Chains A and B, each alone.
Chain A
Amino acid sequence: MIGWLNTIVQGVLLGGLYALFAMGLSLTFGVMRLTNIAHGDFIVLAAFGAFAITSQTGVGALGALACLLPLSLAFGYGLQRSVLNATLARDPLPSLVVTFGLSIIIQNVLQEIFSADPRSIPAGSLATASLRLVQGISVGVLPVLIFAVAVTVAWSLQWLFARTAIGCVFRATSDDRETAELMGLDARVVYASASALAFAVIAIAGVLQGMRTTVSPADGPGLLLYAFEAVVIGGLGSFWGTLAGGVILGVTQTIGFRLDPGWGLWLGHVVFLVVLLLRPAGLFPRMR
């Protein structure tokens, strides 16, 4: 019994990481209906960026994230303005093709520079520190921190969208781009701002993924899949839904792994498919 409880606790913590993967995707899809096929590769790119910073300069993971965040914001803004805005249309195909192309480029460039070896970002003593909750359940300090970050990011994005003027602009542009422009907005700038924000979340997710486990250049599509599944399970209503989607995916995977070491990812996909069949809008669709 306590073993199962332990499995669920570990799954929830893993789900925090999946939720972080998913929130950037949920944000860009929510604001501009852009499905970024390279989303996972950008997470991997951020992880390698942090790896390069830590190994070249000797700063810790947190220092690397501090360097990476402004870079990511600027990169997301620039990428959206210069490339992705041109692909947005009623037809989703151009954006899919272009981001698919970016995915291939990122994987190959990373492989060229860093080789195919898995790398990880040094987390110091954090990597092994653990807390014993009760007899039989111990949790790693790093996974708990990652989960706390996921909750904080979900809360912050939720607050930003619901309570601030820029959130209002994001929602309005998502509702009706043309009318939003009639209000004096430039949708290209709104989209670029949303992308900047999404890339900040991507940087956080990448660094934490690199700290928790290893990353290698070809990991991106796998991360994209988890992000997708978390978004679809949670529904596009809110970032809390995305967090819940990540947690459900994480718990399902760890339960699967406990049942049979070969079942973890498979069971996650099954739950994703079942939700897609029974609740295509996700478990927590938009309320109003």
Chain B
Amino acid sequence: MSSTPLLGTQSLDARYGDFQALFGVDISIGAGEVVAVIGANGAGKSTLLKTISGLLPAPREAVRFDGEPIGGLRPGEIARRGIALVPEGRRLFASLSVEENLCMGLRSGRQGPWTLDAVYALFPMLRGKRSQPATALSGGQQQMVAIGRALMANPRLLMCDEISLGLAPIVVKEIYDALPAIVEGGLTTVIVEQDVGLARLMSNRLYCLQEGRVTLAGASGEVTREQITRAYFGDTQEHAR
């Protein structure tokens, strides 16, 4: 890992109106890492990704990407700098075909290895459905379109928000089977995942959030189940007192 991380947040707070969702979050992601962010519902995982993407306001210096402060820039500007988000719930464009959805990724104006052919090679079943409306696909296929669309932006940082949400286990496996091919070229990736086992398996490092705070950070292979349980639910001993 190089000395300057690709992405770093520093004392990052986030709010929805009066409700504070993140409290002083510090994370640091090096180029080429695959980092998982885990935590219970409402722990702030999606909020973290939304804030990094510019969908939620942040102080300029609180988020740094490739050495540059990017907190609170417009989402379009952040996307053009090379951060792509696969949003929770897929958020495909309903009036666009599969291929048109994929081509929206080109709007980042970035060049790289990910082209339509590369995405179709990664998810072959999409090729035959290229001209169908994106919403006519099954949930798993829609998720593939959402991932393909983000890849078409040729990002330097790919962030996937709960790509297993609402999908059958076999479909989830199918999608995660594609992950090694995605990251093999050194693409830095953040995955937010409810399934802790899957998250550990897929990542080099992980962060656990609880009620908007980082409660655990470590190498995915080294943290123990017990540590994760405590980071997930809080110190039950302490709550009891």
Contact = CB atoms under 8 A, between A and B. Distances in A.
Interface of A: 165, 168-169, 171-172, 174-176, 178-187, 286, 288
Given A172-B96, A288-B95, A288-B133, A185 B76 contact: yes
Contact of B103 (A165, A175, A181): A165
Interface string B72-110: 001111011000110100010111100010011101110
B153 interface: yes
A176 B53 CA distance: 16
Interface of B: 53-55, 74-77, 79-80, 84-85, 87, 91, 93-96, 100, 103-105, 107-109, 133, 149, 153
A168 B80 CA distance: 18
28 contacts: A165-B103, A168-B100, A168-B103, A168-B104, A171-B100, A172-B96, A172-B100, A175-B95, A178-B75, A179-B87, A179-B91, A179-B93, A180-B93, A180-B104, A181-B55, A182-B55, A182-B76, A182-B79, A182-B87, A183-B105, A183-B108, A183-B153, A184-B80, A184-B109, A185-B76, A185-B107, A186-B76, A288-B95
Contacts of B109: 184
- Report, nearest first, the 9 A-B pairs whose CB atoms are least far apart: A184-B108, A184-B79, A181-B75, A184-B107, A172-B93, A183-B107, A179-B91, A175-B93, A186-B76
A183 B93 CA distance: 11
A50 B104 CA distance: 39
Given A172-B104, A288-B133, A186 B93 contact: no
A151 B130 CA distance: 30
Contacts of A171: 93, 95-96, 100
A165 B104 CA distance: 9
A168 B96 contact: yes
A175 B91 CA distance: 10
A185 B94 CA distance: 17
B100 A186 contact: no
A164 to B, nearest CB: 11
B76 to A, nearest CB: 4
Contacts of A179: 87, 91, 93
A184 B153 contact: yes
Contacts of B77: 186
Q: What's the dominant secondary structure at chain A's contact region?
A: helix
B93 A178 contact: no
Nearest to B82: A184
A186 B76 CA distance: 6
A108 B61 CA distance: 49
Contacts of A176: 91, 93-94
Nearest to B95: A171
Contacts of B74: 181, 186
A179 B150 CA distance: 11
A181 B55 CA distance: 9
Contact of B79 (A168, A175, A181, A286): A181
Nearest to A161: B95
Contacts of B96: 168, 171-172, 175
Contacts of B54: 181
Nearest to B84: A182
A169 B104 CA distance: 7
Nearest to B83: A182
Contacts of A168: 96, 100, 103-104
A67 B210 CA distance: 62
Contacts of A175: 93-96
Contacts of B75: 178, 181-182
B79, B91, B100, B104: most-surrounded residue (chain A CB, <10 A)? B104
A182 B109 CA distance: 13
Contacts of A184: 76, 79-80, 107-109, 153
Nearest to B152: A183
Nearest to A286: B95
A35 B165 CA distance: 37
B75, B84, B109: most-surrounded residue (chain A CB, <10 A)? B75
Contacts of A185: 76, 107
